[in-house]
Structure 1
Amino acid sequence: MSELGARLKQARLEKGYSLEDLQEITKIQKRYLAAIEEGKFGIMPGTFYVRAFIKQYAEAVGLDADEMLAMYKAEAPEPPLTSEASGMTAPAMRRTSMRRAGKTAEAMPKVILALFIVVAIGIVWFLKANQASNTEPAEEIAETESTVQVQQVGPEENGEGAPTEDGEADKEEPAEKEAEKETEKAEQPEEPEAPKATLAVDRSEGENTFYNLAGTDKATVTLTGKGRSWITVTDNTGKQYFSKSLETGQTETIEAQGVQWLRFRIGYVPGVEIAVNGNPLTYAIPGAERVTQNIIIQIGSVQ
């Protein structure tokens, strides 16, 4: 075990932490924490991770991270670059450059020939395009002159009313149609407005509070966390929507239709806000009086 590993392990034991506890605190795998204590840095993913893990370990057990990193550097210095590797670089680069220059010289005639062919094709295409542009306009003009015809549109074809004896169009017909449309609108019965859903307290029994949701058979319940609280949601059929801890700022939405009631088992009432179909639910029993409560929303109940 290295001096660095011994210092870290001693600080961990003084804190009363096991490797499992330290893994939970730092989110570093236990095998990497054990390797740091034993000085087995070779199993780490890389030098960057070794430094990062040592820094997190030291901060978690209350040691100076910079001091621990300095000890790591002294115990496991980075290997310097060898002169052999640097000496072989220049000749290898020269040989590569010479091979590339030779290949370029061999390919140059082919490139020149390809460019010549492309230029020749471009010239031919340009000449043909000019020839076609000189002949097409005359043909289009001749075709237009032979096909254009002029038609006179009479008053009936133009959609205007036939002239009366006085020479005026009949203007009374549109006014009569507008009057008929207004009469039809007045005769149509107005559709009754749909009843609005209402939520009201029915009764409280111990830690149970019953609410009636009237005017609808569908409930959309939104739960918003204002503090950590365990919540379980079920309905009269025995279906469980979820059972979990709701954290601060977290939101869960329950949608139910065709059930008789929804039951919300709330472990910490001050930590949960409830809205039913967009309307806030007011706790009949304040959270200061009873922290754990059951909220039962009876859907479709008549008040």
Structure 2
Amino acid sequence: MSLDNLTLGTEIRDARERAGYTLNKIAEITRIREAVIADIESDNFSSCGGNAYARGHIRTIAKVLKLNADSLIEKFAKATGDFDRPMIDLLEESSVVKPRPVRPQVSYKALASVAAGVVALLIAVPAVISLFPSNETSPNPSSQGAVPSTTDKNSTVVATKTSGVSLVVTGISGKSWMGIQDASGAQVFSGSISNGETKSFTDDQLLQVTIGNAAAVSLNVNGREIGTPGGTGEVVHLSFEPGNSNNG
């Protein structure tokens, strides 16, 4: 009998028997379950798991039995009505891949209408805005932020009272040396102060001050002017605490 007159399953079974293979042996070689091979030989492809898998099984078996795989696939297509379908369709049918999402059909007429509406809106908005008077006014100079003032070196500096201790030292004649420590004994300042210079110091608890040539400087402690702390060439040691302008 001509091979063309044989069904796919019959051609595979005859070739297997001629080669001396059992169903179990073909299953061992191809890694296809014996029951599936038996169904294929009976032209029953339901146990293959889908047409994509069925085609793969047929080609694998054809390779082992040295059969024409394309001829067998053609017989499979005639038997199932599955002619030249795209592989992606076969994979989706066999649940190998997720079904492709259906893209919504876009109406070009609708897109044109939306575009025309947007253009009309862009034209109309500026025209409507132009109908209303502008409420913008020029800036009022009086509302601008104040410009910080500068103090020349001969002006008097007044210290404001703080929650801690504050000290303002102003050089009034000649030159004086000064050393200042905080409550922990750390050095806050060590250096000279000349006529016209002003230096400010603050601490939460205590300022300990040593001044050489005490007559050359004037002190303002916690917002209170106390003047020169000593005479010309005199070295003084002072301590100032919050709310206390008396030296110790």
Same fold (TM over 0.5): no
Higher helix residue share: 1
| TM-score, scaled relative to structure 1 | 0.30
